[in-house]
């Protein structure tokens, strides 16, 4: 009983001891972070989706009756994240029985549910009382979806995770990263991931060009390639106007 309680309180220990997963230091810290709003600005292939899948599985296993929602811009992306949850579940020596099990959702005998959804406001509004919401590719997800999922946490007091690589200085992911006071921010660049070789990164920079490369692998929020003015130029231009309007 004591060991079960310890694993329930420590998702990182659950990942290493029961799933046999070797965590990067940042993954262990993110799994153990007890707060409610988490931003993961992480390079491609850095392990953010796997970490989030482990956290979703942990919540469903140890907190009966939990609702875990996996939200992505497309159904294919949501189903891929859900598959990561299923793959981790299969690693358990004695996985729980499932009363529902398909490619998009599962329901455990403890009444916990894990559901994957595309970023459709109309579809998402049918859910309430979520305990954990994970929005994948948040920089590319519609604003209406983000605003539809937040009220689901009002009564449950659940956790919201936005994870993505940047996609310009726009949208709710950028807004939260730039000035969201309630958020815990985690940035993981490709250089910090031991599984990504330096030679591969050099090839990617040459192939993709700096604009794509620094967003995908170094987590930088870049101005649009077609913009006539940079974000900083606009901010400076309007800062004086705001002062005039306040006067």
User: 145: which residues sit within 8 A by CB, 6+ positions away?
Assistant: 71, 119, 120, 121, 124, 135
Pairing mode, strands 67-72 and 37-42? unpaired
pTM above 0.85, yes or no: yes
Q: What percent of the chain has pLDDT over 70?
A: 90
Query: pLDDT band for position 32 (50/70/90)?
Result: very high
pLDDT at residue 230, as a whole number: 43
Q: Is residue 217 part of a domain?
A: no
Give mean pLDDT, residues 155-162: 96
pLDDT greater than 80 at residue 146: yes
Identify the CATH number of the domain in which residue 156 sits: 3.40.50.300
Q: When comparing pLDDT for 125 and 117, which is higher?
A: 117
Q: When comparing pLDDT for 27 and 77, which is higher?
A: 27
pLDDT at residue 246, as a whole number: 45
Read off φ and ψ for residue 108, nearest 5 degrees: -90, 165
Give pLDDT tens digits for 186-242.
999 999 999 999 999 999 999 999 999 999 999 999 986 544 434 454 344 445 544
pLDDT at residue 234, as a whole number: 30
Contact 220, 166 (CB under 8 A): yes
Give pLDDT tens digits for 40-79.
999 999 999 999 999 999 999 999 999 999 999 888 888 9
pLDDT at residue 239, as a whole number: 52
pLDDT at residue 238, as a whole number: 40
Give mean pLDDT, residues 81-104: 94
Q: Is residue 230 part of a domain?
A: no
Q: What percent of the chain has pLDDT over 90?
A: 78
Q: Is residue 243 part of a domain?
A: no
pLDDT at residue 2, as a whole number: 83
pLDDT greater than 50 at residue 152: yes
User: Which residues constitute the domain of residue 115?
Assistant: 2-195
Q: Total structural domains in the chain? A: 1
Query: pLDDT band for position 118 (50/70/90)?
Result: confident
Query: pLDDT band for position 103 (50/70/90)?
Result: confident
pLDDT greater than 50 at residue 37: yes
Q: Is residue 234 part of a domain?
A: no
Q: Is residue 137 part of a domain?
A: yes
Q: Which residue has the tokens 């005998």?
A: 109
pLDDT at residue 236, as a whole number: 46
Q: Is residue 18 part of a domain?
A: yes
pLDDT at residue 126, as a whole number: 78
Q: Is residue 145 part of a domain?
A: yes
pLDDT greater than 50 at residue 161: yes
Nearest Cα residue to 142 out of 179, 163, 171, 167: 171
Read off φ and ψ for residue 180, nearest 5 degrees: -80, 105
Rounded Cα distance between 189 and 24, Å, is 13
Side-by-side strand order, sheet with 113-118: 98-101, 105-108, 113-118, 67-72, 132-136, 159-164, 37-42, 184-188
Q: Is residue 187 part of a domain?
A: yes
């Amino acid at each position: 009983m004591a060991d079960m309680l310890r694993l329930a309180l420590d998702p990182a220990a659950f990942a290493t001891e029961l799933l046999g997963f070797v965590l990067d230091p940042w993954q262990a810290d993110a799994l153990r972070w007890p707060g409610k709003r988490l931003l993961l600005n992480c390079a491609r292939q850095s392990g953010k989706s796997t970490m989030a899948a482990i956290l979703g599985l942990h919540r469903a296993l140890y907190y009966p009756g939990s609702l875990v929602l996996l939200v992505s811009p497309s159904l294919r992306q949501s189903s891929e994240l859900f598959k990561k949850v299923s793959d981790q579940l299969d690693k358990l020596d004695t996985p729980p029985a499932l009363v529902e099990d398909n490619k998009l959702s599962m329901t455990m005998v403890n009444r916990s549910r894990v559901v994957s959804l595309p970023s459709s406001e109309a579809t998402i509004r049918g859910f309430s009382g979520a305990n954990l919401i994970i929005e994948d590719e948040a920089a590319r997800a519609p604003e209406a979806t983000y605003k539809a999922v937040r009220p689901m946490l009002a009564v449950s007091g659940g956790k919201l995770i936005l994870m993505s690589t940047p996609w310009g200085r726009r949208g709710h992911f950028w807004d939260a990263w730039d000035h969201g006071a309630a958020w815990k921010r985690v940035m993981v660049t490709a250089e910090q991931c031991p599984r990504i070789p330096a030679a591969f990164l050099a090839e990617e920079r040459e192939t993709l060009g700096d604009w794509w490369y620094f967003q995908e692998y170094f987590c930088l929020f870049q101005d649009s390639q077609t913009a006539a003015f940079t974000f900083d130029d606009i901010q400076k231009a309007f800062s004086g106007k705001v002062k005039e309007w306040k006067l």
